[in-house]
Structure 1
Amino acid sequence: MDIIDKVAVVSGGGSGIGRATVLALVERGASVVVADVDEAAGQRTVDLVAGRKGTAVFARCDVTEIDDLSRTFAFAIERFGQLDVAFNNAGVGGEDLFADDPGDWKRVIDIDLTAVIDATRIAVREMERTGRGGVVINTASLIGLGPMADAPVYAAAKAGVVNFSRSLAYLKEESCIRVNAICPELVDTPMAHGLGEERLEDLRAADEILPPEEIAAGVVELIEDDSRAGAVMRITIRDGRGYVPT
């Protein structure tokens, strides 16, 4: 898919991977709906786009609320007349989530897995309705490809995103809609700030943490490569971007 003149919705677009992807898409000529629960952060992204003479608008969206998701995708079509790309990127992290309090781990499942399923479902229905086809990309994690004792629920959620996305490969033939997933290693985003600034500075100095722009480049690749459907892109510090065998 050629990105120029396309319309994208990017959740979690107020910072990190989401913001980097919004900027990358705008640079290639897309119009973007920046969806985020953080209004101030989302507006900062829109302001950055305006400073680059691009087109982006903000939509407040709590991805755990079906009505918010539906309104956001409908807004994209109402504002720009089409929907071509959905980047379901909003997420939360955590450490030891194998906890007795269900509130601690259900939130991770709600945001990192259930919301991705809901957003994909809504985006696909909108794309089918318009008959233009499209691309959906879901943010998983390298942790979704293997176990993580320190964060078993997070690992489970991300593994779910991987196999959910893979399972929708058939939509390419059925509706000209390609659903793919990205699995990055540790990325320098606000989510990583829990490591502490001193640890982050050490990781940056040693080139042991990915810049969000590298993930944005992977998203662009998945959009532009029409052969990719049900694909899982692995993005690591040592090996860069590559695809996990199906």
Structure 2
Amino acid sequence: MRLLDKVSVVTGGAEGIGRETSIRLAKEGSKVVVSDINSALGEALVQEIKQNGGEASFFKTDVTKFEEMEALIDFAVETFGNIHIMFNNAGIGLNKPFLDHSPEDYHKVVDVNQHGVFYGMLAAARKMKELNTKGVIINNASVFGFVGTLGIAGYQAAKGAVVMLTKHGALELAPYGIRVVGVGPAAVNTKIVQGYRDAGLLEYMEKQQLTRKLIEPEEIASVVAFLATDEARSLNGTVVMADDGFSVFKSDIRP
């Protein structure tokens, strides 16, 4: 119960990493606002959390609209009285060769994965400052914000921006007692890797990681939960690479 009485907001909270993080934060004692564009899954998760003794509420949000992100933060404060933890997790993927990318493809991914994070940071930080809350903003970056791969131009551009937004946010928000940190997963067992499955590349993706298997969303949730605690106070402006070694070796030279 390291987050007892804290209030958390999780975007993209109904599925995958967001779902498991919402559950984990609630188990740690936090009151959780699950935010997602999918109301049915979000409401079902809230009921599950409540049935297991946690406190949670759902708020439908399109992260590409700043006014909806502001409304989300206002809802969290109106419902639970404050906001201490903001997990900017919502993201989408699109796997297509660079020359086949259209501007619409690119902007669709960047709008969610980059602009959505910026909007979440801005709305949460403004409210934390207003309430004089010493909070933490956690951004879901990616190993693909650091290393190149095929087929995901928009995703890589957006995640690289998230890495820099994390550094910049930490610098500017530190005077207000707001910490900003990121988590950098590699290939996680969620629907965002479906493109690799469809292309027959799942085994290839697994071999890019030291344990030769996909990371489970619960594993990333445990890292996020730790980053939200006071125990992680020294982690600020950095991205914790929860990537099972993806960024530290080349799979084609492994024995």
Q: TM-score, normalised by structure 2?
A: 0.87
Superposed displacement of residue 173, structure 1: 3.4
Match in the other structure for 1:237: 244
Match in the other structure for 1:60: 60
Change (3 A) 1:197 1:154: closer
The farther-off stretch of 230-239 and 154-163 is: 230-239
| Cα pair 2:31 2:56 within 8 Å, conserved | yes
Match in the other structure for 1:123: 124
CA distance in 2, matches of 1:18, 1:169: 22
Match in the other structure for 1:193: 194
CA distance in 2, matches of 1:228, 1:48: 31
The sequence identity of aligned pairs, in percent, is 33
Match in the other structure for 2:228: 223
Q: How many residues align?
A: 240
CA distance in 1, matches of 2:174, 2:65: 30
CA distance in 2, matches of 1:237, 1:178: 25
Match in the other structure for 1:112: 113
Match in the other structure for 1:155: 156
Match in the other structure for 2:48: 48
CA distance in 2, matches of 1:27, 1:203: 35
The one-letter code of the counterpart of 1:221 is F
The one-letter code of the counterpart of 2:41 is A
Match in the other structure for 2:216: 211
The one-letter code of the counterpart of 1:218 is V
User: What SS does the aligned partner of 1:32 have?
Assistant: strand
The one-letter code of the counterpart of 2:62 is D
| Cα pair 1:171 1:179 within 8 Å, conserved | no
Change (3 A) 1:163 1:201: closer
CA RMSD of aligned residues (A): 2.4
Superposed displacement of residue 72, structure 1: 0.5
State the Cα deviation string for residues 20-66 of structure 1 (Å, max 9, x = none): 00011000100000000001111121122022111111000000111
The one-letter code of the counterpart of 2:234 is S
Change (3 A) 1:97 1:126: farther
User: What SS does the aligned partner of 1:168 have?
Assistant: helix
CA distance in 2, matches of 1:218, 1:41: 23
The one-letter code of the counterpart of 2:174 is E
Superposed displacement of residue 200, structure 1: 9.3
The one-letter code of the counterpart of 1:163 is M
Q: Of Structure 1 and Structure 2, which has the larger fraction of its residues in strand?
A: 1
CA distance in 2, matches of 1:33, 1:130: 18
State the Cα deviation string for residues 104-136 of structure 1 (Å, max 9, x = none): 110111000011111101100000000012000
Change (3 A) 1:212 1:143: same
User: What SS does the aligned partner of 2:169 have?
Assistant: coil
Change (3 A) 1:54 1:78: same
CA distance in 2, matches of 1:156, 1:100: 13
Q: TM-score, normalised by structure 1?
A: 0.90
Change (3 A) 1:234 1:100: closer
